[in-house]
Amino acid sequence: MSLYEKHKATLDAAIKALGERTYYTPYPENPKAYAEDADAKAKAWISATMNNDFKSLSQINEAGWHGEEVSPFLQVGIGVKYPIFSVDNLIANSKHAQKNWAVTSPETRAGILIEALEKVSKRFFDIAYATMHTTGQAFMMSFQASGPHANDRALEAVAMGYSELTRFVKETEWVKSFGKFDLKMHKDFKPMPKGISLVIGCSTFPVWNTVPGIFADMITGNACIVKPHPKAILPIAIVVEEIQNTLKENGFDAHICQLAVDASSAPITKLLAEHKDVKIIDFTGSSEFGNYIETLPKTTFTEKAGVNSMILDSVSDLKAVLGNIAFSASLYSGQMCTAPQNIFVSKEGVKTPEGVVSFDDVVNGLSAAITGLVDNPKAGPGTLGAIQAEATYKRVNDAKNLGGNVVLDTKTIKNEEFADARIATPVVISLDKTQSSIYNTEAFGPIVFVIKTDSIEDSISQAKALAESKGALTCGAYTTDEAIKTQIADEMNSAFVPVSFNFTGAGFINSHAAFSDFHMTGGNPAGNASYTNPEFVTKRFVWVGNRYM
């Protein structure tokens, strides 16, 4: 049985879910769904991996070894070193590997890639601990985001790619009648990959944000160079290892997918991005570097910074709403591209069944909800995780100097498991809309601005203007008025921002579900791509047709 036949049911189910936008996953997100001893084995693995060379890759001719990752929980380097390869070596290996992969059928590529994801699923616990000790995500988020949810997004890219590659017939007999005679031709159609691809990872979500590009590139026949952030390598290195193992086991060159590690002091990202043989680039990170990537004469897919807003008009249960927002703002210490930053509230307050709640009481209620969450010894540390970068930690601690009224300042809470964890709880700052210079840029990390506007219409206008000028990945809105709901949807959607309405309970603005939610729209300054719409795969190859008379 071929790998395509082995995994055809999974591929078919994924394609069906893509069209119907329903819930689907072949990878359970509950750690208890996996082997009982998986967690213990992973703890032993991470202990054995730290302070050692990562020798599991199948790449050849390394020029040296390097590693500089620091655990945000332990506040010490994890000591893992990775093979370093020259740009020329990486490009040469990709060019050689590309030749065979480019002419491999979509069916064979899909089978190999889904098999690789199956191998990755057996490493979810390893990946979880690797993610914890490079990004600062708490265990549960590390497991889910870098494991099942990342695999979902990768499978989604494979399914979308396969659908587009097989959209048209491979060949046909073409006949045009001229009355007395027919003009006949045989035609064939080939999806031709564009060439070597580069996927540039970020430090906070090194797997979830990276695998869509990798698997979209590979299903469309492109060789892929994975350039991780030097502070977050280990999680994606495991994924590349399993992709390479699957390629080798099936007679393909492991260099179809390569890991390109560099040092902060000697970066190679621009050298790779500007190389003439690199045709496709995926990037997640800062707007400044993302804007540079978009200027290159390549096919680019970017996710950059955005300013996400929430609009409060009227609610049926204010306590539930503020609790939901508090969790969204605290989850992974606000270090998510979908985390809320600006909360717009009219000076008239928020309407509830019990009456109107004043602006100040809303701000104080949100601060109390955050305090109650982070001070909970069971929920706080697991929700916040740890701060990934020193720059983010400094930004949060300096937030009180930004201006406005600091209603809730940051503090450090105790993590019983990791006494040295770098933790900073959310800051809540009350502002007037005239203080836009404070809130009109991304303040990455757990920083929340509650902004007083003149009216609900003004709140909508402010949020839309920010989305158009600075970009946004998400928008949250709370209203019990159907007319206002329609107005918010129309205005924010026209700025190419999706809206999440009236989320409480287990629904949070931060989370986007593969096969159902499009992550980003590609229509505003937050990024030019969308996981996973057809364009995310079709721009990676071109259709070429031949005619035979």
The torsion angles phi and psi of 311, rounded to 5 degrees, stand at -120, 120
By the 10 Å C-beta count (0-12 exposed, 13-18 middle, 19+ buried), 449 is classed as: buried
| CATH 3.40.605.10 residue spans of the chain | 3-305
Rg of the chain in Å (alpha carbons)? 24
Q: What is the pLDDT of residues 413-426, one digit of tens each?
A: 999 999 999 999 99
Q: What is the pLDDT of residues 173-202, one digit of tens each?
A: 999 999 999 999 999 999 999 999 999 999
In terms of DSSP bridges, do strands 182-193 and 171-177 run parallel, antiparallel, or are they unpaired?
antiparallel
> What residues form DSSP beta bridges with 53?
81
Q: Locate 115 and state its tokens.
A: 């098999």
Cα–Cα dist 539/301, whole Å: 10
How many Cβ atoms sit within 10 Å of the Cβ of residue 46? 19
Helix runs in 147-233, H state only: 148-165, 211-219
Q: What is the pLDDT of residues 254-304, one digit of tens each?
A: 999 999 999 999 999 999 999 999 999 999 999 999 999 999 999 999 999
Say what the pLDDT of residue 532 is: 92
Average the pLDDT over 448-465 and give the result.
Answer: 98
Q: To 5 degrees, how large is the angle CA 261–CA 265–CA 269?
A: 45
Cα–Cα dist 87/416, whole Å: 44
**Secondary structure of residue 134 in the 3-state scheme:** helix
Q: What is the pLDDT of residues 468-497, one digit of tens each?
A: 999 999 999 999 999 999 999 999 999 999
58 vs 90, 209, 262, 502, CA distance in Å? 13, 23, 17, 49
Q: Please, what is the average pLDDT of the chain?
A: 97
Say what the pLDDT of residue 46 is: 97
Say what the pLDDT of residue 43 is: 97
Q: Locate 500 and state its tokens.
A: 């999440």
Let me know: does 140 contact 196? Beta carbons within 8 Å.
no
Let me know: does 99 contact 127? Beta carbons within 8 Å.
no
Cα–Cα dist 289/267, whole Å: 13
470 vs 3, 18, 227, 308, 462, CA distance in Å? 45, 30, 26, 9, 12
Q: Work out the pLDDT band at 56, boundaries 50, 70, 90.
A: very high
Which uninterrupted H or E stretch holds 499?
A: strand 499-501
Say what the pLDDT of residue 63 is: 95
Say what the pLDDT of residue 206 is: 97
Cα–Cα dist 333/447, whole Å: 9
Q: List the one residue out of 457, 453, 452, 480 whose CA is nearest residue 314.
A: 480
In terms of DSSP bridges, do strands 224-227 and 196-200 run parallel, antiparallel, or are they unpaired?
parallel
Domain covering 3-305 in this structure, CATH number: 3.40.605.10
Say what the pLDDT of residue 381 is: 95
Residue type, 369: A
* pTM value surpassing 0.75: yes
Q: Locate 275 and state its tokens.
A: 């190389």
- Percent with pLDDT over 70 in the chain: 100
Q: What is the pLDDT of residues 93-129, one digit of tens each?
A: 999 999 999 999 999 999 999 999 999 999 999 999 9
Q: Work out the pLDDT band at 33, boundaries 50, 70, 90.
A: very high
| CATH 3.40.309.10 residue spans of the chain | 309-501
Cα–Cα dist 190/193, whole Å: 10
Q: Work out the pLDDT band at 147, boundaries 50, 70, 90.
A: very high
Q: Please compute, for residue 124, the number of CA atoms within 13 A of its CA located in the half-sphere on the CB side.
A: 29
Q: Work out the pLDDT band at 465, boundaries 50, 70, 90.
A: very high
Q: To 5 degrees, how large is the angle CA 273–CA 132–CA 337?
A: 55
Q: Locate 154 and state its tokens.
A: 């990768």
Has domain 309-501 been given CATH number 3.40.309.10? yes
Cα–Cα dist 203/207, whole Å: 10
Total residues belonging to the chain: 549
Average the pLDDT over 530-548 and give the result.
Answer: 97
